[in-house]
Amino acid sequence: MNLSLIDISILLGYLVLTLFIGFWLSKRASKDLEAYFLGGNRIKWYYLGLSNASGMFDISGTMWTVAIVFVYGLKSAWIPWLWPVWNQIFVMVFLAVWMRRSNAMTGAQWITFRFGDGRGGRLSHIIVVLFAVVSVIGFIAYFVEGIGKFATTFFTWDLSASILGFQLTSQQVYALIIIAITTVYTMKGGMYSVVSTEVLQFLIMTVACVSIGVIAFNEVTPDQIAAATPEGWANLWPEWNLSLDWSGIFPELNDKIDQDGYEMFGMLLLLMILKGVFASLAGPVPSYDMQRILSTRTPAEAAKMSGLTSLVLFIPRYLMIGGLAVLGLVYLKPELMKMGADLDFEMVLPMAIQEFIPVGIKGLLLAGLLAAFMGTFAAFINAAPAYLINDLYKKYLNPGASDKKLVRYSYMSSLLLVVIGLIFGLFAQSLNSLTLWITSSLYGGYAAANVLKWIWWRFNGMGYFYGMLGGLVASVVVPPIYRIIVPGAIDIYMFPVTLLISMSASVIGTLMTKPDKMDVLKKFYKQTRPWGFWEPVKREVIKDDPSFIPNKDFKRDSFNVLIGITWQMSMVVLPLYFLSGEYTAAWISLAVLVGTSAILKFTWYDHIKNID
């Protein structure tokens, strides 16, 4: 792609500005560990909300979503429930409040708060630290290839070089440069730097998204979209068997639907809901999302921060996704079909930018896309060193270390994790695949134990450890066996089996070991105030403090979750309907958005304003 001097200047200006921010904030961040990793719990919630939204603006995920909108149309809005995309609603409604009340610095420290410092608590603490560190290394290794591919798609300069005896391709050198810049500003400024640059990145990305939406609206008509898509493409409501037939329009897409395994759409949706409820109740995994929650000033601000993340993320993001999809359907289909067996939907992005985006806006858009990569990467490398320094070094090796030493070691641990991730990504692709496999397995086994930790008083540290371990083993063993029995099965069909094994390991491990100490349980319950099966602990807390008021918000929280999921879904489909020319449905979606916002104002926002 040929970039003008104006576009290149915008890109370089953005990179210089991010470095300046990191160095400018370094003095404030280096005060102590709380300042470095949590911004001293002084950062305002709306900045953290914008930062969190930027960290979730993963461009690789965005390109995948463009592909599914291209193929599945409006029904694609359900497919992100695989993760599930609405886990943020559970966090917004009640989990952010519960988590922030711990006053912990990391997810691993939170585990000690829940299970104490006995054998079970220590084992649980260590497995969460390992989970966080391995996740970050795997992510960095993946990032090397992803950001290199992004750079070489747009920049034509040959930067291949020999470094320390290793011959690196242009893609790898671009990755090293961008990762180095991101690592420097993140190391110097800590959470202050991450949040400040991510707010900037979010603003740039939002301008880029709106620009693509406007261009797509002006360049594509509803009649053109109808001619380029099969019957049912603009129908949101799910069917038991997917009825999209691309024969005669784009036959290769029928093969993609078969490969994806989404033909039995009704069964898929039921499994997504089952997985989604458990995965959402489990709460955030120990990464950037959890760090944002723990960085807020109060529990109420943690909830508002999570709500803002959903509010500002989906409409701009789906303006870009919908815009790229409809531009691709109408104008780029001949070019895509020429790829034949090498059909790559991610090429919709550079092809659309090259053909439709004017000078100046192109540079801003590329800066925004680069910002999406850098923001997610920065969030991860800020989160993981907290586990190494606060949860391993300070806890087990040097409890009396000075703040200056701890911050200096945080710099070193950030650099070490990045270097290890780079080695995996650059020189050991098989190990990289293994790391990502392990990380995926850990995520697969995360749900059961992390649901029980909130709602069941008897669940102890040993049960948590065995549940996480059982989930890991199941996630490794079940998929190959399942695929032998059911060839071509996708991962979500295996989730009930993995969940059952992990849940069994959690319950058996708990019942075969002693309960945690009542003092630990009382402190956790009184401070966190969750709902669930806590009756024996609740009686002891009330005995000590008759003024204690237990949590009776289960029904209200459940109602708000249902309203919140509808609220979020309306923000997803509104830009898709609008850009597809389905204006009546777009107006209905807007009405749903306004109505659910009003309900949440009274049933959620007014309630959380008064909590502590």
Task: Please determine, for residue 328, whether its predicted confidence score (pLDDT) is greater than 80.
Answer: yes
% residues pLDDT > 70 (the chain): 83
- Hey, how many other C-beta atoms are within 10 angstroms of the C-beta on 135? 23
State how far the Cα of 131 lies from the Cα of 135, in Å rounded to an integer. Answer: 6
496 pLDDT tier (thresholds 50, 70, 90)? confident
35 pLDDT tier (thresholds 50, 70, 90)? low
Task: Please determine, for residue 38, whether its predicted confidence score (pLDDT) is greater than 70.
Answer: no
Which of 37-51, 306-320, 334-348, 502-516 shows the lowest per-residue confidence on average (mean pLDDT)?
Answer: 334-348
| pLDDT at residue number 438 | 47
Model pLDDT for residues 107-145, shown as the tens digit of each residue: 777 888 999 988 898 888 888 777 777 777 777 776 776
- Hey, how many other C-beta atoms are within 10 angstroms of the C-beta on 138? 24
Maximum mean pLDDT: which of 78-87, 205-214, 513-522? 513-522
| pLDDT at residue number 224 | 94
* Structure tokens given for 197: 């640059």
| pLDDT at residue number 442 | 54
- Residue 90 DSSP one-character state: H
| pLDDT at residue number 436 | 44
Mean pLDDT of 73-85: 88
Mean pLDDT of 370-374: 71
| pLDDT at residue number 461 | 94
Closest CA to 388 of 32, 128, 123: 128
Mean pLDDT of all residues belonging to the chain: 82
State how far the Cα of 194 lies from the Cα of 529, in Å rounded to an integer. Answer: 31
Closest CA to 599 of 571, 562, 546: 562
Mean pLDDT of 8-30: 71
Task: Please determine, for residue 453, whether its predicted confidence score (pLDDT) is greater than 80.
Answer: yes
Maximum mean pLDDT: which of 55-69, 167-181, 561-575? 561-575
264 φ/ψ angles, rounded to the nearest 5 degrees = -85, 75
Task: Please determine, for residue 185, whether its predicted confidence score (pLDDT) is greater than 70.
Answer: no
Task: Please determine, for residue 518, whether its predicted confidence score (pLDDT) is greater than 90.
Answer: yes
286 pLDDT tier (thresholds 50, 70, 90)? low
* Structure tokens given for 200: 């900037």
456 φ/ψ angles, rounded to the nearest 5 degrees = -125, 120
User: Helix %, strand %, coil % for the chain, to 5?
Assistant: 80, 0, 20
Mean pLDDT of 330-358: 74
Q: Higher-confidence residue: 407 or 342?
A: 407
Q: Which residue do the tokens 């991610």 mark?
A: 346
How does DSSP assign 24-78, residue by residue?
A: HTHHHHTS-HHHHHHGGG-S-HHHHHHHHHHHT--HHHHHHHHHHHHHHGGGGGG
291-310: burial string, b at 16+ Cβ within 10 Å, e else: bbbbbbbebbbbbbbbbbbb
Task: Please determine, for residue 573, whether its predicted confidence score (pLDDT) is greater than 90.
Answer: yes
Distances (CA, A) of 585 to 167, 321, 570, 601: 54, 18, 10, 24
Model pLDDT for residues 389-448, shown as the tens digit of each residue: 877 787 778 888 887 787 778 778 878 888 887 777 666 554 444 444 444 455 666 788
526 pLDDT tier (thresholds 50, 70, 90)? very high
